[in-house]
A and B are shown apart, each in its own frame.
Chain A
Amino acid sequence: QVQLQESGPRLVKPSETLSLTCTVSGGSITTSYWTWIRQSPGKGLEWIAYFYHSGSTAYNPSLKSRVTISVDTSKNQFSLNLSSMTTADTATYYCARRFCDRSSCPFDLWGQGTLVTVSS
C-alpha cells in the first residue's frame, strides 16, 4: 500500500525559501506522477506543480518563478522548494500522487499534510 509523508520546517521567515520533502513508501517513485498542493483559508486548495521521474514537469504559472521540484529516486523522495516566502504562503502543504491510469489523472493518494507558517 503506497503511502506519502511530508517533512520539513513548520515555521519559515519572510523572504526565506521553504524546503519540503515527500517520502513515498510501499511503491516506487518511478511509476507515477507526483505533485504538490497547498491549502489555505484564503485561497482554498491550490495546485503547485507535478513531475514525472523522467523529467516531465508542470507548474502553476502563478508560482512558477518561485518553485523548484527535485527528486531522489534512491531515497524514493521528492522535494519542493518555494522561494521568497511571504505570509500569503502560509498554508498546509500536501504531496500527492497524480494517477494517470485514469483520463482525468486525479490525485488519488495524499500525504497527511504539513502546516507551514510564515512569520518573523
Chain B
Amino acid sequence: DIQLTQSPSSLSASVGDRVTITCRASQSISIYLNWYQQKSGKAPDLLIHDASNLQSGVPSRFSGSGSGTDFTLTISSLQLEDFATYFCQHSYNIPFTFGPGTKVDIK
C-alpha cells in the first residue's frame, strides 16, 4: 500500500497567515493526489484534485502543487472558516489511502 504522511500534524495560526501543509507519498503517484477539508462533526469536502486543480466553488486562497512524491496545500490568507483538519488522499492504485491529517487551529 502507498503510505501518505503529512506535516505538520497540527499547527496554530492567525487570521491572515499563509499556511502550508505538506503531503509525502511512499512512492511516486504522479498527480493522483487530492486534498480535503473536514470540519468537526462533518464529512470531508473536496478542495483540490489532481494535485493542483481547485474544485469548483472553493475559494482561490487555496492552492495545491507537486507531483511524484511531494505535494503541498497552501492557504494564502487564512480565514476564520478555514480552521479545520486537512487530509491528502491518493488514487494512484488500490487501495486508495488518506494521510493522517493536519489540524489547523487558532493561535
Chain A interface residues (CB < 8 Å from chain B):
44-47, 58-62, 94, 96, 102-108, 110-113
Q: Is B50 within 8 A of A103, CB to CB? A: yes
Using a CB-CB cutoff of 8 Å, which residues 41-65 of chain B contact chain A? 42-46, 49-51, 53, 55
Query: CA of A104 to CA of B91 in the docked complex: distance in angstroms?
Result: 6
Chain B interface residues (CB < 8 Å from chain A):
31-34, 36, 42-46, 49-51, 53, 55, 87, 89, 91, 94-98, 100-101
| Residues of B contacting A62 in the complex (Cβ-Cβ under 8 angstroms) | 95
Q: Is B44 within 8 A of A106, CB to CB? A: no
Complex: chain B residue closest to A63, CB-CB: B95
Q: Is B46 within 8 A of A106, CB to CB? A: yes
Residue contacts A-B, CB under 8 angstroms, 12 given:
A45-B101, A61-B94, A103-B32, A104-B32, A104-B34, A104-B51, A106-B49, A106-B50, A108-B46, A108-B49, A112-B42, A113-B43
Query: CA of A94 to CA of B89 in the docked complex: distance in angstroms?
Result: 15
Q: Is B94 within 8 A of A104, CB to CB? A: no
Closest 10 CB pairs of A and B: A110-B43, A45-B98, A106-B49, A106-B34, A60-B95, A47-B96, A104-B32, A104-B50, A104-B91, A108-B46
Q: Is A44 within 8 A of B100, CB to CB? A: yes
Q: Is A45 within 8 A of B91, CB to CB? A: no
Query: CA of A113 to CA of B50 in the docked complex: distance in angstroms?
Result: 25
Q: Is A45 within 8 A of B94, CB to CB? A: no
| Residues of B contacting A110 in the complex (Cβ-Cβ under 8 angstroms) | 43-45
Q: Is B98 within 8 A of A108, CB to CB? A: no
Q: Is B98 within 8 A of A47, CB to CB? A: yes
Minimum CB–CB distance for A36 against chain B, Å: 12
Query: CA of A105 to CA of B101 in the docked complex: distance in angstroms?
Result: 20
Q: Is A102 within 8 A of B94, CB to CB? A: no
Query: CA of A20 to CA of B36 in the docked complex: distance in angstroms?
Result: 24
Minimum CB–CB distance for B26 against chain A, Å: 16
| Residues of A contacting B33 in the complex (Cβ-Cβ under 8 angstroms) | 104
Q: Is A60 within 8 A of B94, CB to CB? A: yes
Give 5 A-B pairs besides A47-B95, A58-B94, A96-B43 with Cβ atoms closer than 8 angstroms: A105-B91, A106-B55, A106-B91, A107-B89, A113-B43
